[in-house]
Structure 1
Amino acid sequence: DKGATWVVSLPDGQEVNHLQEQIPVAQIAFHPDGKQLALLGEWETVVLWRWNPTDWIDEACGRLLRGNLTQAEWSTYFPDEPYHATCASSSIQNE
C-alpha cells in the first residue's frame, strides 16, 4: 500500500502492525521505551505512533471513552458479535 508502514517481528517476519500515514516515510526508529515508533517524513515531519494495539485500547479506554460501551452502543457498532467488556478496568454499563 502506498503510504503504509508495516511493523514486523524478527526473525519470523510476522506482521505485528500496519500503520497508514499520509506522508512519504524516509526513516523509522523505535523510541527507547519500545512503545512508540517514530516516522520521519521526507519533508522533515516526525510522526509518533503507539504501535501496539493494546496501547491503543488503553488510550481509548482511559482518555477517549467513559468506560465500556453500553449494550446499546455495542449493538449499534457490533450487531453480530456477543457483548463483552471493551475496557478491562471499567464495569459493564447496562444502558
Structure 2
Amino acid sequence: MTGRVALWDGTLRHRTGVLGNLFPAALGDTPEAVNALAFSPDGSTLAVAGDSGTLQLWDTATQQPLGGNLPTPGEPIRSLAFSSDGATLYATSDHTPLQRYPLAPSHLITQACTRTGTTLTAAQWHLYIPDAPYHPVCDTRRPH
C-alpha cells in the first residue's frame, strides 16, 4: 500500500474521495505505507495506521484529519478496531500490548483539564485541541 486511502460509497461503485498525503515523508524519503484501517461504527471517522507506527483519525465527510497524530509506541500497527459505541479505538502491534485510545469528547476535555490543573487557558486549549475554537470548559470550582 501507499500513503493514500481511497473512500468509496457503500455500493463500491463510486469513489467519494481520496485521503491524500496521510503520512508526509521528508524530501526524497519513501512515504509511510498504510498498515491498518478501521471505520467507527457510524462511519464518520476512519482510523489509519502506518507501517512506522503513525496513527491518525480522519473525518470521512470532510476528508480532513481530526487533530494531530495519536501517540503510539512507534512500531508498525497491525490491527485497529473501534468499540461498538465509537468512544474508544484499540490498536495492536507485534511487540506492544493492546493500546486503548479514549475518543469521547467529554473524556478528552477532562483529560486536558487534568493535565493543566483546574483551568484551561486559550493557549493550553490550542495545544490540546488545536482545530477547535477556544471555550472555557474546566470547572475552576472543583479539582479534576
TM-score, length-normalised on structure 2? 0.42
- Unmatched 5+ stretches in structure 1: 79-83
Q: Of the candidates 27, 47, 53, which is equivalent to residue 3 of structure 1?
A: 53
* Two-structure CA RMSD over aligned residues (Å): 3.2
TM-score, length-normalised on structure 1? 0.58
More helix by share: 1
For 1:39, the equivalent position in structure 2 comes to 91
Distance in 1 of aligned mates of 2:116 and 2:96? 33
Change in Cα spacing, 1:44 to 1:21, as seen in structure 2 (3 Å) is closer
Distance in 2 of aligned mates of 1:85 and 1:33? 27
Q: Whose relative contact order is higher, 1 or 2, with alpha carbons under 8 Å and at least 6 apart? A: 1
Aligned pairs, how many? 79
Percent of aligned positions with the same letter in both sequences? 21
Change in Cα spacing, 1:35 to 1:8, as seen in structure 2 (3 Å) is same
For 2:131, the equivalent position in structure 1 comes to none
Distance in 2 of aligned mates of 1:60 and 1:12? 25
- Partner letter of residue 48 of structure 1? R
- Unmatched 5+ stretches in structure 2: 1-22, 24-51, 124-134
For 2:62, the equivalent position in structure 1 comes to 12
Q: Of the candidates 47, 68, 90, which is equivalent to residue 119 of structure 2?
A: 68
Q: Of the candidates 85, 96, 101, which is equivalent to residue 49 of structure 1?
A: 101
